Amino acid sequence: MNEDVTEIRHPLVQHKLSLMRSKDTPTDNFRRLLREISQMLAYEVTRDLPIELVKIETPITTIDAPTISGKKLCVISVLRAGNGILDGMLDLLPNARVGHIGLYRDPETLEPVEYYFKVPEDIAERLVIVVDPMLATGNSAAAAIARLKLRGATSIKFVCLLAAPEGIKVMQAAHPDVAIITASIDQCLNEHGYIVPGLGDAGDRLFGTK
């Protein structure tokens, strides 16, 4: 791993994540907690957006005020669980364009299979934030980013709730130019490809399915 992997160790993030990990946390609370953590992750992933000074008038005086310097944003949700992070991101980034990539993991090969792809036409002009709660094997995330690069995306960051060291290794080998922001780097993957200690299947817990 290198400096392009950021683990958010803020106490509020870690506390909320611990609540999400508990098998006793019901779907409604799980969904709310993911949305809240996603807002905090949005702060981190946009930390280095360019700033310019714009003259404004306050009720007291005129000042040169810092504003975001016209950087276009696009949030890409890796379906279906990525939508849980997408909602929180859009709370803070309401003007961002949105795209979706549908991938599922073949249970035998653990390789990603694409079934849906829809992104903004001007994606090459935007900072692309790819969101998926779990970076497990890394195969799906790497495939999604490769697909986005084929469409012209050049500035990409990946945001997840949990990351396994194995997934980080795969991502960095495939896309060393893509920064990874996560709430936790967990221990490992088990024999079924689940993150340990993890929180189970994020999509099932988010939508109340099995």
Looking at the chain, the whole-number percentage of residues with pLDDT higher than 70 is 98
Alpha helices per DSSP H over 79-164:
82-92, 139-150
Q: What is the pLDDT of residues 58-69, one digit of tens each?
A: 999 999 999 988
Residue positions annotated with a catalytic role: 105, 109, 201, 204
DSSP letter (8 states) at residue 130: E
Q: Residue 149 burial (CB < 10 Å; 0-12/13-18/19+)?
A: middle
Tell me what pLDDT residue 193 has.
Answer: 85
How does the average pLDDT of the chain come out, rounded? 92
Provide the residue type at 113 as one letter.
V
**What would the mean pLDDT of 130-157 be, rounded to a whole number?**
94
117 with 101: CB under 8 angstroms? Answer: yes
What is the structure's pLDDT at 104? 77
State the average pLDDT over residues 24-28: 94
The pTM assigned to this predicted structure is 0.91
Q: What three-state secondary structure class fits 167?
A: helix
Q: How confident is the model at residue 110 (pLDDT cuts 50, 70, 90)?
A: low
- CB environment 167-197: b (16+ within 10 A), e (fewer): bbebbbeebeebbbbbbbbbeebeeebbbee
Section 98-118 average pLDDT: 84
